[in-house]
Amino acid sequence: MKVRTRSSAIIGTICLVASLALTTASADQPAAPRQAAAKVALKNVATAQNPTAGAAGPGGTVWIAERPGTVRVLDDQGLGEPVLDISDETTTDGERGLLGIAFDKEFAHFYISFTNLEGTSTVDEFAMRDGKIQPDTRRTVLTQTQPYSNHNGGDIKFGPDGYLYIALGDGGAGGDPHGNGQNLDTLLGKILRIDPSGGEPYAIPPDNPFVGDPNAKDEIWAYGLRNPWRFSFDAGTGDLLIGDVGQNDWEEIDWAPANSKGGENYGWSQMEGTHPFRDGTEPANHVPPVHEYDRTNLGCSVTGGYVYRGDAIPDLKGQYVYSDYCDGTVRSLQMENGKVTGVNDLGVNGGEVISFAQGGNGELYVLAIGGSISRIDPA
């Protein structure tokens, strides 16, 4: 690991490999009436090396993860030099790399989610002091071996409850060949919920839904997911929203209310969205997506975003903003009590949108794998 190292590019410009797109789906599903969209524009604020994730940092900054293994800080002066470099510990083959970053609520600890040189999903923790990473405090919190180089998931977020949530895909290949989505005896195909400060290497929250079940992993919060590449919590309500990448036909956005006790089964690989996958049978406890779309147009892989809670665009407030890696159109869902009441095309295109970032002020940034970081501004 290197801290505050060279600014030169370590690895040449990379695009996500075709496996990210070819085993997925897209196009807008007109399940809800379209309503007048907020008028927005994309303002390019920086260029990074294959940015994959972002997190609101101390002092009003936004920290950006670059897939080859570096972390840089975006502030009013632009994107700074790397503050962390693990490029010699990860690879960018398949869908691997540095995939997620997160801070705890007090900015006392910084977390990274990456695949190591063997392809193992890894979550590490660093202590923070005066807004800076303390490299000597690094420790590994959680690891999960991966049978294939795709569907790693990798997103991490702290929930309103102060616990760390971790998204892991079903292990890869296509069609969930190992049946991990519905198997409660593996962490793959799940959203996990752990307490990294409560034990060594972590503690299990006592109210996790499968605690005490000998046939299930205690870490599991929700299951039946194919590749929950990006998820987020609504900063206004605490609701959980998940963009789960589909197989061949349907992309889906899943939702759980803030008062959920966990245990939701989102259906994969018996279901793809609201549709049986191959010869699948809908599980009795299946929680269908709040929104799905097919591949009628150019999309192929949903990129989950955030519910907008900023002040710059009043007409967008409370809407869930998302996109698609292949289509690039930035869209929003109007929602009420967990139901979609409107689907909006915001009229801007972010390119190969791989992720979103939310600043501490609630404003949103669009990250394209080619390098652009754009803020969503009023038009």
Domain enclosing residue 55, as ranges: 40-378
Residue 199 lies in a domain: yes
- H or E element, residue 219: none
3-class secondary-structure state, position 252: strand
Residue 7 lies in a domain: no
**Residue keyed to tokens 């002020």:** 361
Closest CA to 127 of 140, 142, 109, 111: 109
Residue 17 lies in a domain: no
**In the prediction, which pLDDT does 105 show?**
96
Residue 157 lies in a domain: yes
Confidence of residue 9 (pLDDT cuts 50, 70, 90): very low
Express each pLDDT in 93-141 by its tens digit.
999 999 999 999 999 999 999 999 999 999 999 999 999 999 999 999 9
0.85 exceeded by pTM: yes
The domain that contains 338 carries what CATH number?
2.120.10.30
Q: What is the mean pLDDT of residues 213-226?
A: 98
Express each pLDDT in 342-354 by its tens digit.
999 999 999 999 9
Q: Which amino acid is at 207?
A: D
Express each pLDDT in 262-287 by its tens digit.
999 999 999 999 999 999 999 999 99
Residue 29 lies in a domain: no
Residue 26 lies in a domain: no
Q: Which two tokens stand for residue 72?
A: 């840089």
Alpha carbon distance 319, 377 (integer Å): 15
Residue 10 lies in a domain: no
Q: What count of Cα atoms within 13 Å lies in the side-chain half-sphere of residue 215?
A: 2
Alpha carbon distance 136, 1 (integer Å): 10
Complete edge-to-edge strand list for the sheet that includes strand 164-168: 156-158, 164-168, 190-194, 220-223
Residue 294 lies in a domain: yes
Counted domains in the chain:
1
**In the prediction, which pLDDT does 296 show?**
83
